[in-house]
């Protein structure tokens, strides 16, 4: 396994010059990404073309010399091969049909391995192209987050409202979470077999949930996924990003399930050091909109984070992904500051 600074940090080593990668580091803010995306013809074509998907996965490494690449894919590829039709509407995001809130769907794992084979080939290409000091991160959406899209058929501003589906149709909801948990375990294990060095679970819709609901349908499934991965691949770090979970992030930290936890923009770094860093490595926290602004505000915020986490296992990252209008030159300046 690669001995990259990223892997060492998420496994608990304090590294003086903090490793760095960024969520959505490959994306619309990069002109080279837009050129490759145009060549592919559509977002899904890009996801399922291993050569082009590998190209965009590696573009940020070539441009910024980051410590880790993250697989270019999408968290909604699983439902696409479990019985729903996936499409992306320009300017409106993903659509899944039929929405489970309107029509029950018989979910199946039969098509998963064959359907996701191009993703595994993308991983193999990337791992061959990356040097040993660069990690390759695989990922999946956590069950609750993926379920919100499947239930609603699209992303909405307050997916926490879909917990009414769980209350009104507990049998269907529990079965859905169970199916997603099982599929996610297999998907991530296959990513590891193909060559990723760490995996990250994205719980993008953890905010606004009652504490017991979050424990049952976010933390519980994430722990079971992490433990299943660790049982077969004990040396592969598992990272979880429970965006917006508030004080309950500490429950993730003390659970013993995860090697590292991603911090959202809402997380106070001082609180994170005091309450979380004793239990897990930490990652992230910088507001991506500060990278849009650049200049002194971005530098001051980044320097504060670097100072607070100086003596802790930490990976520099954002509190969410880059937005499309991020100037690439600001990203370059940020990476330079971190390296210094």
Just list the catalytic residues.
Answer: 24, 28, 37, 74, 149
Which residues is 201 bridged to in the sheet? 140, 240
Which residues is 202 bridged to in the sheet? 141, 241
Neighbours of 3 (CB within 10 A): 11
Q: Where are the alpha helices (DSSP H) in the chain?
A: 5-10, 31-40, 43-47, 50-64, 77-80, 112-115, 117-129, 143-152, 163-168, 170-194, 211-214, 220-232, 249-254, 269-275, 288-293, 295-308, 328-339
Query: In this structure, what DSSP letter does residue 200 have?
Result: E
Instruction: Name the nearest CA neighbour of 317 among 44, 112, 10.
Output: 10
> Which residues, 6 or more positions from 260, have their beta carbon under 8 angstroms from its beta carbon?
9, 10, 237, 238, 239, 240, 280, 281, 282, 283, 313, 315
């Amino acid at each position: 396994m690669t001995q990259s600074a990223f892997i060492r940090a998420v496994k608990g080593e304090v590294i003086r010059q903090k490793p760095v990668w960024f969520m959505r580091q490959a994306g619309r803010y990069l002109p080279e990404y837009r050129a490759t995306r145009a060549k592919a013809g559509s977002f899904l074509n890009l996801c399922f073309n291993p050569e082009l998907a590998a190209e965009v996965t590696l573009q940020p490494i070539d441009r910024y010399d980051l410590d880790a690449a993250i697989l270019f894919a999408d968290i909604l590829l699983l439902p696409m091969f479990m019985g729903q039709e996936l499409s992306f509407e320009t300017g409106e995001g993903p659509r899944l049909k039929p929405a489970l809130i309107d029509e029950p769907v018989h979910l199946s794992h039969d098509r998963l391995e064959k359907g996701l084979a191009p993703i595994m080939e993308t991983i193999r290409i990337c791992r061959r192209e990356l040097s040993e000091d660069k990690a390759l991160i695989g990922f999946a959406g956590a069950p609750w987050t993926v379920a919100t899209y499947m239930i609603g058929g699209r992303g909405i501003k307050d997916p926490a409202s879909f917990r009414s589906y769980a209350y009104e149709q507990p049998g269907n909801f529990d079965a859905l979470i169970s199916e997603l948990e099982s599929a996610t375990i297999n998907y991530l294990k296959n990513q590891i077999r193909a060559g990723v060095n760490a995996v990250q679970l994205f719980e993008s819709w953890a905010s606004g949930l009652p504490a017991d609901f979050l424990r049952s349908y976010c933390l519980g499934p994430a722990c079971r996924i992490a433990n299943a991965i660790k049982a077969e691949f004990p040396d592969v770090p598992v990272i979880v990003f429970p965006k917006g979970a508030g004080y309950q992030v500490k429950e993730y930290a003390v659970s013993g399930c995860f090697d590292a936890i991603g911090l959202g923009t809402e997380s106070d770094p001082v609180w994170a050091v005091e309450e979380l860093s004793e239990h897990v490595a930490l990652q992230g926290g910088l507001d991506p909109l500060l990278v849009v602004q650049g200049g002194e505000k971005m530098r001051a915020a980044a320097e504060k984070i670097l100072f607070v986490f100086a003596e802790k296992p930490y990976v520099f990252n954002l509190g969410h992904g880059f937005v499309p209008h991020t100037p690439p030159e600001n990203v370059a300046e940020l990476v330079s500051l971190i390296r210094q």
